[in-house]
Chain A
């Protein structure tokens, strides 16, 4: 199993550009989520999904869109990039039920200039 994969690993955008961060998992997990990591702030939840066709907002959803058309994929879209979105983005997945321990991808480092 590849686990949780994310592409790209690094990305530089100009202010106002749009892009999609890809996330895929091969563990048949129902639950998937996106976090951003900023220095001194831990990880903050952007959006999450409890299954295909179901998404919901987390703590910091503004400026990001998600959709979940399959169990495996959960892309994160930046509609109009801003310097405040410079961060490291992590995707995670887990089974529904039990303790919901989450498995994280390797991250995408995004810089917006």
Chain B
């Protein structure tokens, strides 16, 4: 079945460091890909999305490119802030699966001042 694999955390960075969180997927057909962020004690918020190959999603300085050839959707940010500390989830959905979201296990990011 379809699945999403994320790098295990926690990822600990200093402020202004470069961030990469790896995400790869296994899916038939043409999934849409998402990154969600969960701040402590809160629900999930959509961070960015991409709906077809080579699309780049971007928001709040974060970017991810839908790479069909490598089945990847890695999250990047050029300069992280303490306020970016959160858990990041990669997810996919497909129209022919009733658009159910399939999540990776999440990656915790901790940014130190």
Contacts and interface: CB of A to CB of B under 8 A. Distances in A.
Categorize the interface residue count of chain A.
20 to 34
A103 interface: yes
A19 interface: no
Nearest to A94: B99
B32 A100 contact: yes
Nearest to A106: B43
Given A42-B105, A48-B100, A104 B89 contact: no
Given A42-B89, A42-B106, A43-B89, A102 B43 contact: no
Contacts of A94: 99
A56 B100 CA distance: 11
Given A41-B105, A42-B105, A31 B99 contact: yes
A104 B49 contact: no
Contact of A43 (B98, B99, B103): B103
Interface residues of B, number: 22
B100 A33 contact: yes
Interface in A76-113: 90, 92, 94, 96, 99-107
Contact of B43 (A33, A50, A96, A104): A104
B8 to A, nearest CB: 9
Interface string B10-36: 000000000000000000000010101
Residue from B101, B103, B104 having most chain A Cβ neighbours under 10 A: B101
Residue from A31, A44, A94, A99 having most chain B Cβ neighbours under 10 A: A99
Contacts of B4: 42
B100 A45 contact: yes
Given A100-B32, A101-B49, A45 B101 contact: yes
Interface of B: 4, 32, 34, 36, 42-46, 49, 51, 89, 93, 95, 98-101, 103-106
Interface of A: 4, 31, 33, 35, 40-45, 48, 50, 56, 58, 90, 92, 94, 96, 99-107
Q: Which 9 A-B pairs have the closest CB atoms?
A: A100-B99, A42-B103, A104-B43, A104-B44, A42-B105, A99-B32, A43-B103, A106-B43, A99-B51
